Structure 1
Amino acid sequence: MVFRHLLESWHPSLYWYTPRDSMSAYFDEGYAAIRDSMTEPQFRTILSYVIAKVDCGHTSIRASKAYAHYLDTAKLPQFPLILKFWPDTMVVSANLNRRDSVLKRGTLILSINGRTTQQLTDTLFDYIVTDGLNQTGKYQYLSTGLHFSSWYHDIFGYSDSFDIGYRDTSGLTKLTRIPLYDPRADTLRKSLGHTLQPGTGQRPPGPAQRIRPADRRRRKQRELVFIRSLQLDTAGHTAFITLNTFEHGYHLRRFFHHAFTEIKQRQIKNLVVDVRSNGGGDASLSTLLTRYLIDKRFKVADSLYTIRRHSRYDRYINNGFLYDVLTLLASRKRSDGKYHFGYFERHYYSPLHQLHFDGHVYILTGGNSFSATCLFAGALKGQSNVTLVGEETGGGFYGNTAWMIPDATLPITKVRFRLPRFRLVVDRQREKNGRGILPDVEALPTIDAIGKGFDFKTARVKELIRQNADKN
């Protein structure tokens, strides 16, 4: 009951997309499903089903700290296929069993243990959170890392092997059986492969060669290159900025200044900003990037508010007192009874002038584009020199529930869940249809592109740049 009371007391958008009576029915359904002697994953699955009905991508279930530590060290067996999902389609993007010569990258999968793509997604989508009614984010979530493997295990259970229906290279429908992927056995096999001579069982002559781990500075440099990078094509007068987060800790302010200085000095005409893998972060950083590109004054939010400053359930909220103090300092109660973050509702930001980019801007988006990334892309959508390319964002266009997002911890199981405190409406004039930001030019996955590891979205942008150059 603590779970329900916390959401009902604190979540400002609990009934934004799901009516109160429907949400109450989901709470009751979840409570009735609880049984004695449940494992933590079984209990979390019930909570995930209920919380997904809130339709808030920032409100999600997390493992207890003890179980999270167990997962970090246990190296549990996994469903071996990493799949790329889109409507009615699932394609192999990687196979953890590297010796499998049948289910290679690009293979179209028709069924798993008799369940079709539609049956799998219809079931799993009931447990995956998203902003509003967005489906693109759910498809992308299942396509990322081991998320599908984890959810398949929790919902359907694992066996020692799986019957996989697939289409072979000649177009024939076939069935094969594959085993679980055991990372412990794979680690042992790779270790023996590196230390023993093939076919002899003997160590190779000479001293053992150890791979020296990269020092902390080099690891940080590699991480920074992955998080944010600038590439210049001076012959094509094009710059490519890849930005995978708006979180602090990556010197983004310095990076933006350096990048736009280079762009101005090289007289770049086309700028591609890749935020396909950017899950968001600090809105002040997304706002700063917006100011380098936007051509008018803008606000972050028309409204930004929380429904209360404290409740009798605060003891279950991690650092609850600190969040109460921050809410007290930042918000003021209005006539509607809500506590508004008035600064962002009133304040207009202006374009930067010194390093402002006025050429053609192409923003690459996808299902992993979320939260602060949608504030950035949404503010620029519709500007005459800006084109959004790719897929619908996973985050909402109308607004979201986020800003301050503490964890709440349930008292007995210690299962945690994210509990955002502020509802943000970007622009009241936009339609609240539950969708993400739609691209101006779609670039959608294909089986052939996945098989070849082809970056079809970047290719589409380059095609648009060539077409624009030909016109001029």
Structure 2
Amino acid sequence: MLKSKIFFFLFFPFLLIAQNVKLPIEKLKQDLIIFKDIREKANSGLYKYRTKQQIDSIYSWAFSQIKQPKTLLDFYKIILKITDFEGSLHNGTTLPDDFQNKYSSGNVFFPYPVKLIENKLVINFQNTEIPLGSQIHSINRIAINQILDAFSKYYTTDGYNITGKSIGIGSSFAKYFEMEYGPQKFFLVEYSLPNKSQKLKKTVAAVSNEIRKENFKNRHSLPIDSLQYGKIKGKYSFKVISPNTSLLAINTFAIGRNAKDKEHLAYKKYVDSCFQYLSDNLQIKNLIVDVRNNGGGTDPNDIITFSYLAQKPFRENALAYVNFQEIPFPEYLVYEENELQKQQEEKKDFEDEIKDEFPKLENGKYIQDEKFNLLLQPDKNNFKGQIYLLISPRIASAGSLFTSLAAGNTNAVVIGEETMGGYFGHNGHTPIEYELPNTKIKTQFSIVNLEQDVPKKASQIFGRGIIPDHEVRQTLDDFLRNKDTQFEYTLKLIEQK
């Protein structure tokens, strides 16, 4: 499987579109047509969760929105709605860098980090204006539910999942607000104090992007969710927490670039030593596997880890395929190199790997060769006790593939909240990026459509993430105390058993 992220950057003549300049209808329609053609030819996941009729319908809506000239930002929001509607967390659509940098300058941002707790948006920062944990009801007279609904398009998740959007809300609320409603100088906030119903109002001043970032770094929930945002330092750990229970935390699968990488080999050795220890200490009958912070990474970290939990032979995928062997619309590709010859070599290498892995055309799909999806065996040191799997909305990509295999093919008791990554499958592994010729909007998606090797379960709904056996969310009181609700619930569950 092509696991490395291959990007192509194509350099067009410099174009900076001013914030309020409206682009001609014919230019916008041309970009929308190209965007649609690219998705239909290259994106194998286009109809994974939506029928052709539904996809055609949203494009009909999009074209109906371009009956008069529009600003780049307004057109971008139309493209975002289509991107989000497809249902893949690997979808990404971005504005030109120069436009974004200019647009986000000055004191224009909502000042305080926020977090969704019990489906309520609360202040996640100790400050003197609006107390920590206060529930926000409206901002600038816009109801918070309306705001959150508008923000949904800015953060993509697999299928019909919505829990994963809380990750984007928690990290980028201020940026989304600026994008959706424009730069602000002040914010009129209607709120209520923690565990109170009386509504209060406070006007707070906007801040710069630098202060916004600094406030986020100092958010109240940092001790609990530090691993869900930014670079992860402690990628994995193992410890014995009681005479009969151990904890294995795997915070990312971004551990080396491939199976030969030194970092991956060190991880493989470490994991094997953990399960060797468990094999030698049979009194440890409970293993908590915490993947709540795992947003994905590279193979074979996910598969090797699962081999220590598996009780029978398994495959990474039940099926994998792509739509093409020769990259469609290469004139809009984003290349890594400037020189034409190197671009051509890069494109050829990419296509040669695709042809090697996906050689056979069946019903319009190029199917993965079995040598890239071998039947794998459980490791000799596989754990035979009771597994407790901790999950959260942060879990995605390789993290959700591992979690799906563990939830579907072991005795794992799954605790936490629905993942943003799909249970039955996703589009992943190999990203590709294009740039639209008139607006310079970039769009990225992964080309490999994967059906994961998992059984059907009554609790699992197609198009949703991994559904926990025990749904456990942090309460407002637990949030204020920075209590790890799910972990403590798991320990009590083990004690009761």
Q: Which band: TM-score by shorter chain?
A: 0.7 to 0.9
Instruction: Say which of 26, 37, 42 aligns to 1:10.
Output: 42
Shift in alpha-carbon separation, 1:405–1:344, aligned structure 2, 3 A: farther
* Deviation of the 1:422 alpha carbon: 1.4
- Retained in 2: the 8 A contact 1:86–1:139? no
1:111-167 CA-to-partner distances (Å, cap 9, x unmatched) read: 222333322222222443221111111233312x2x222222111223211122222
* Deviation of the 1:60 alpha carbon: 1.8
- Retained in 2: the 8 A contact 1:390–1:457? yes
**Displaced runs of 4 or more, over 6 A:** 68-71, 185-188
Q: Does 2:252 correspond to 1:245?
A: yes
- Retained in 2: the 8 A contact 1:108–1:447? no
* Deviation of the 1:237 alpha carbon: 4.0
* Deviation of the 1:424 alpha carbon: 0.8
* Deviation of the 1:331 alpha carbon: 0.9
Q: Which amino acid aligns with 2:185?
A: D
Q: Does 2:273 correspond to 1:261?
A: yes
Q: Which amino acid aligns with 1:435?
A: R
Alpha-carbon distance in structure 2 between the residues aligned to 1:265 and 1:255: 15
Shift in alpha-carbon separation, 1:187–1:350, aligned structure 2, 3 A: closer
Q: Which amino acid aligns with 1:168?
A: L
TM score, norm. by length of structure 2? 0.77
Q: Which amino acid aligns with 1:55?
A: G
Q: Does 2:335 correspond to 1:330?
A: no
Instruction: Say which of 426, 447, 450 aligns to 2:476.
Output: 447
CA RMSD of aligned residues (A): 3.0
Residue of structure 2 equivalent to 1:123: 150
Residue of structure 1 equivalent to 2:52: 20
Shift in alpha-carbon separation, 1:274–1:77, aligned structure 2, 3 A: farther
1:418-471 CA-to-partner distances (Å, cap 9, x unmatched) read: 122111111485376211111122111211122221111111122222223xxx
- Retained in 1: the 8 A contact 2:256–2:298? no
Residue of structure 2 equivalent to 1:79: 110
Alpha-carbon distance in structure 1 between the residues aligned to 2:37 and 2:137: 42
Q: Which amino acid aligns with 2:200?
A: K
SS of equivalent residue, structure 1 residue 23: helix
Q: Does 2:258 correspond to 1:227?
A: no
Q: Does 2:84 correspond to 1:58?
A: no
Residue of structure 2 equivalent to 1:386: 412
- Retained in 2: the 8 A contact 1:75–1:184? no
- Retained in 2: the 8 A contact 1:260–1:357? no
* Deviation of the 1:64 alpha carbon: 3.1
- Retained in 1: the 8 A contact 2:38–2:328? no
* Deviation of the 1:316 alpha carbon: 2.0
Instruction: Say which of 175, 199, 202 aligns to 1:150.
Output: 175
Residue of structure 1 equivalent to 2:443: 417
Residue of structure 2 equivalent to 1:347: 374
- Retained in 2: the 8 A contact 1:301–1:425? yes
Shift in alpha-carbon separation, 1:66–1:322, aligned structure 2, 3 A: farther
Alpha-carbon distance in structure 1 between the residues aligned to 2:357 and 2:212: 52
- Retained in 2: the 8 A contact 1:363–1:386? yes
Shift in alpha-carbon separation, 1:456–1:302, aligned structure 2, 3 A: same
Residue of structure 2 equivalent to 1:161: 186
Alpha-carbon distance in structure 1 between the residues aligned to 2:467 and 2:305: 20
Alpha-carbon distance in structure 2 between the residues aligned to 1:376 and 1:83: 30
- Retained in 1: the 8 A contact 2:311–2:410? no
Q: Which amino acid aligns with 1:102?
A: I
1:227-261 CA-to-partner distances (Å, cap 9, x unmatched) read: 2233332x444333322221243824422432441
Moved more, 115-124 or 288-297: 115-124
Q: Which amino acid aligns with 1:404?
A: T
Instruction: Say which of 368, 374, 397 aligns to 1:371.
Output: 397
Residue of structure 2 equivalent to 1:203: none
Shift in alpha-carbon separation, 1:346–1:312, aligned structure 2, 3 A: closer
Residue of structure 1 equivalent to 2:79: 47
- Retained in 1: the 8 A contact 2:161–2:420? yes
Moved more, 267-276 or 302-311: 267-276
Q: Percent of counterpart pairs with the same letter?
A: 23
Q: Which amino acid aligns with 1:62?
A: T
SS of equivalent residue, structure 2 residue 164: helix
Moved more, 458-467 or 261-270: 261-270
* Deviation of the 1:24 alpha carbon: 2.3
1:337-359 CA-to-partner distances (Å, cap 9, x unmatched) read: 31111227862111000x32223
Instruction: Say which of 418, 427, 430 aligns to 1:401.
Output: 427
SS of equivalent residue, structure 2 residue 86: coil
Alpha-carbon distance in structure 2 between the residues aligned to 1:287 and 1:43: 41
- Retained in 1: the 8 A contact 2:425–2:452? yes
Instruction: Say which of 294, 305, 318 aligns to 2:334.
Output: 318
Q: Which amino acid aligns with 1:182?
A: S
1:252-272 CA-to-partner distances (Å, cap 9, x unmatched) read: 442243244145437344322
SS of equivalent residue, structure 1 residue 406: strand
Residue correspondences, number: 426
Alpha-carbon distance in structure 1 between the residues aligned to 2:49 and 2:382: 38
Alpha-carbon distance in structure 1 between the residues aligned to 2:62 and 2:55: 11
* Deviation of the 1:312 alpha carbon: 4.3
Shift in alpha-carbon separation, 1:187–1:75, aligned structure 2, 3 A: farther
Shift in alpha-carbon separation, 1:367–1:158, aligned structure 2, 3 A: same
* Deviation of the 1:223 alpha carbon: 6.4
Residue of structure 2 equivalent to 1:436: 465
Alpha-carbon distance in structure 1 between the residues aligned to 2:410 and 2:203: 53
1:262-290 CA-to-partner distances (Å, cap 9, x unmatched) read: 45437344322221121112242101100
* Deviation of the 1:11 alpha carbon: 0.8
Alpha-carbon distance in structure 1 between the residues aligned to 2:466 and 2:96: 33
- Retained in 2: the 8 A contact 1:391–1:444? yes
Residue of structure 2 equivalent to 1:103: 131
- Retained in 2: the 8 A contact 1:241–1:271? yes
- Retained in 2: the 8 A contact 1:300–1:345? no
* Deviation of the 1:397 alpha carbon: 0.8
Instruction: List alignment gaps of at least 5 residues for structure 1.
Output: 189-221
